[in-house]
């Protein structure tokens, strides 16, 4: 299965330098304030990601529908407001944290405790906030949607790959490595999760 690219996810373009700073001194950028924004009335990221992959119009529409379902699943079952019965703003840092955890789970088999997840969310909020503030609201909404739907997509694809065998698992790991390398600018094998969020093994330089 062709996995969509994270490319052009707004602040992801300039995030690696700030991420290296965060890994060197997480307390300098960790930000516990919510990084929220109103949800778009009509999601745009599923179409953007579907159209970026090669294939026929029918194939692109099939992918778009899948990405719409992934985004809906995130809002229904993954995000903090899931199951509350009320519509709340989208939290970009929370979606980014789920995205990072899903990819690290596929690559390393690691997972985040609630405390570590909260620390990762604060760490990513501090890293993402400056770049996000420079974007128009619709681009900010695109960024949330991409993180959220890709977090679900990589998690569900990994679950299927576990049943399909080594070749399928290798494909998902390759996609997960690419996502983390693009987002963070560091080889994923140099990263792990710790009490403060992401930690660079052997330093972030």
pLDDT in tens, 112-162: 999 999 999 999 998 888 888 888 999 999 999 999 999 999 999 999 999
Nearest partner of 3 among 166, 160, 184, judged by Cα = 160
Tens of pLDDT along 151-194?
Answer: 999 999 999 999 999 999 999 999 999 888 887 777 888 888 99
- pLDDT score at 169: 94
Binned at pLDDT 50, 70 and 90, residue 52 comes out as confident
Three-state secondary structure of 79-135: CCCCCCCCCCCEEHHHHHHHHHHHHHHHHHCCCCCHHHHHHHHHHHHHHHHHHHHCC
End-to-end CA distance of the chain: 34
The pTM for the full model equals 0.87
Domain membership of residue 22 (yes or no) is yes
Residue 74, in any domain of the structure: yes
The number of distinct structural domains making up the chain is 1
Per-residue pLDDT, 86: 46
Helices (H), 41-80: 45-51, 57-73
Mean pLDDT, the chain, as a whole number? 84
Residue 201 has pLDDT above 60, yes or no: yes
* 3 domain-assigned: no
Percent above pLDDT 70 for the chain: 81
Q: What are phi and psi of 75, to 5 degrees?
A: -70, -30
**Residue 101 included in any domain:** yes
Mean pLDDT for 85-103 is 86
Lowest mean pLDDT among 18-22, 41-45, 176-180: 18-22
Whole-angstrom CA distances from 14 to 18, 19, 71, 204 are 8, 9, 24, 16
Residue 28 scores a pLDDT above 60: no
User: What would the two tokens of residue 186 be?
Assistant: 């560091």
Residue 98 lies in a domain: yes
pLDDT-derived band at 3 (thresholds 50, 70, 90) equals confident
Residue 81 inside a domain? The answer is yes
Query: Domain for residue 4, yes or no?
Result: no
Spatial separation of the C-alpha atoms in residues 103 and 184, rounded to whole Å: 12
pLDDT in the model for residue 188: 87
In a domain, 2, yes or no: no
What CA–CA distance (Å, rounded) separates 145 from 95? 8
Give the domain extent around 61: 10-200
- Measured distance CA(158)–CA(176) in Å, rounded: 10
């Amino acid at each position: 299965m062709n996995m969509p690219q994270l490319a052009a996810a707004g602040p992801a373009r300039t995030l690696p330098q700030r991420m290296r700073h965060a890994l060197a001194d997480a307390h300098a950028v960790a930000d516990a304030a919510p990084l929220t924004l109103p949800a778009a009335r009509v999601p745009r990221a599923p179409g953007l990601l579907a159209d970026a992959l090669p294939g026929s119009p029918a194939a692109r529409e099939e992918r778009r529908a899948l990405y719409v379902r992934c985004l809906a699943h995130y809002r229904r079952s993954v995000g903090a407001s899931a199951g509350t019965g009320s519509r709340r703003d989208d939290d970009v840092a929370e979606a980014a944290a789920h995205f990072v955890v899903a990819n690290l789970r596929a690559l390393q088999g690691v997972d985040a405790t609630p405390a570590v997840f909260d620390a990762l969310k604060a760490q990513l909020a501090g890293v993402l906030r400056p770049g996000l503030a420079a974007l128009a609201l619709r681009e900010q909404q695109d960024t949330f949607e991409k993180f959220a739907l890709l977090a679900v997509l990589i998690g569900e694809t990994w679950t299927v790959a576990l049943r399909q065998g080594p070749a399928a698992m290798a494909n998902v790991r390759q996609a997960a490595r690419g996502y983390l390398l693009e987002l963070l600018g560091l080889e994923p094998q140099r990263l792990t999760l710790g009490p403060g969020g992401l930690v660079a093994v052997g330093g972030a330089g």
